[in-house]
Amino acid sequence: MTPTDIKTYDQFTSNSTYDLQEIYAFQDQLSILKNQKLYGFEASHTPLSSTTSQIDRIDDISVKTINFGGYNYLGYGTDVRVKEAAKEAIDLYGLGAYSSPVLNGTLHIHKQLEKKLLDFFKLDDHGITLFPTGFCVGQGTIQAFMSSGSFIIMDEKAHASMIEGAQLSGATILYFKHNDMADLEELLSDLSDLKTRKLICVEGVYSSDGDCCPLDKLVKLAKKYHAYTLVDEAHSVLIAGDHGRGVCEQFGVLDQIDLYIMTFSKSFGGGGGALLAKKEVSDYINLYASCRAFSCALNPGLAGGLIQVLELASGEDGDRRRTAIKGNAAYLYEKLAPYVTIPDHKNWVLPVIFGSEEKAFPIYNFLHQNGLDASIHIYPAVPKGTARIRLFISSEHTQEQLGTCADIIIKTARTFGFSKQD
């Protein structure tokens, strides 16, 4: 198949006609990709270890791979102590929470998790709002905190969950250039005469590019222009900062952020998420975040496992893994930098940009066939023409696995024409 035969995501977006044309067109495209043995999305993954997987694809391709496509950054999701704690919680509480956390779904183990999180962050006047999914944290927090007539000033690369929360809130949304504090100040200055609520939304480590927001500068601007701040630490909590309290800790502004949000699906290796905010704010969001109030509470098995993760991550075990992941990221960067264009931040989210969306499926297939699982990122998750392979580095990757990963990426770059040395 030539790359021009492959259509991109935006060519199948829904429309208002009765005939479901886009759904059947997408099905045709899916059939072509499956017949050509090029469809790596929605594949079934079976972990063989914390860093390797058996992949059985829906186009009947089966491969064993090194896993650089999952978010199990610190390996806690597959740690035996964490799994045992989750099992014990299920034995005690059952499989689910069976109700909204507002009504009857808040279990004793949820309160234990909240306390453990507060102990971890050491912010006495704060509270925790638990959410059933990571996406729901950004969406629900912003939807509840903001409303029509207020302004949300968002980094242009902010996650879809924040954008959807902003849209649900009814507030006016304005975007500033990625990590450009001068552009942010221009917007804040233009809005300075308005006495309405303003919220700046950013990520600690950006999920697409892996770079950090300069939170020290951002907090100064927020104070100068009387804006509230929201930081999504989905890709940085437990990893960044000396104690794993995130990029907010790294920049020394943890106690100055109004809304600190995190997911448990990445460095925690579980699922769900939480808001950390002043107690009175957290109490309010508990009730007014619709996706929380109208969902079942976090399942107790997850809560039990997450408590154990916090126990480990707050001690020497966490220190060791934080050091290892940063060392692994630097090592892979050094291996790849001469051959492919990559950012120099040396963080654990490492994007290798190949550009054209049409190459995405052939490249994903090529990676699988060579024994590497990575995350393929295409429009609308990233701007058109900036499609990329995202490599998620773990503290648990061995040096041999990092070397093999680099070799496969370099081979892929040479095959598909995005090597620096071509």
Partner 1 sequence: MKSADTIPTNKQDITDYLQTLLAEELQIPKNVIRPSAGFGRFGLNSMKAVLLSEKLSNHFNISVEPTLFLDYDSIEALAAYLEEQLTAL
User: Using CB under 8 A as the criterion, which residues of the chain lie in contact with partner 1 when the complex forms?
Assistant: 156, 163, 172-176, 186-187, 190-191, 194
Cβ atoms of 307 and 117 within 8 Å: the answer is no
Taking the complex as a whole, the smallest distance from the CB of residue 186 to partner 1 amounts, in Å, to 8
User: Which residue's CB is nearer to partner 1, number 187 or number 391?
Assistant: 187
Helix H, strand E, coil C: the string for the chain is: CCHHHCCCHHHHCCCCCCCCHHHHHHHHHHHHHHHCCCCCCCCEEEECCCCEEEEECCCCCEEEEEECCCCCCCCHHHCHHHHHHHHHHHHHHCCCCCCCCCCCCCCHHHHHHHHHHHHHHCCCCEEEEEECCHHHHHHHHHHHHCCCCCEEEEECCCCHHHHHHHHHHCCEEEEECCCCHHHHHHHHHHCCCCCCCEEEEEECECCCCCCECCHHHHHHHHHHCCCEEEEECCCCCCCCCCCCCCHHHHCCCHHHCCEEEEECCCCCCCCCEEEEEEHHHHHHHHHHCHHHHCCCCCCHHHHHHHHHHHHHHCCHHHHHHHHHHHHHHHHHHHHHCCCCCCCCCCCCEEEEEEECHHHHHHHHHHHHHCCEECEEECCCCCCCCCEEEEEECCCCCCHHHHHHHHHHHHHHHHHHCCCCCC
User: Which residue's CB is nearer to partner 1, number 63 or number 184?
Assistant: 184
At 220, give phi and psi (nearest 5°).
Answer: -60, -45
Neighbours of 187 (CB within 10 A): 21
User: Which residue's CB is nearer to partner 1, number 74 or number 222?
Assistant: 222
Taking the complex as a whole, the smallest distance from the CB of residue 190 to partner 1 amounts, in Å, to 4
User: Which residue's CB is nearer to partner 1, number 56 or number 190?
Assistant: 190
User: Which residue's CB is nearer to partner 1, number 163 or number 329?
Assistant: 163
Structure tokens at 149: 């007539």
User: Which residue's CB is nearer to partner 1, number 42 or number 195?
Assistant: 195
User: Which residue's CB is nearer to partner 1, number 338 or number 380?
Assistant: 380
User: Which residue's CB is nearer to partner 1, number 37 or number 178?
Assistant: 178
User: Which residue's CB is nearer to partner 1, number 186 or number 334?
Assistant: 186
Taking the complex as a whole, the smallest distance from the CB of residue 244 to partner 1 amounts, in Å, to 34
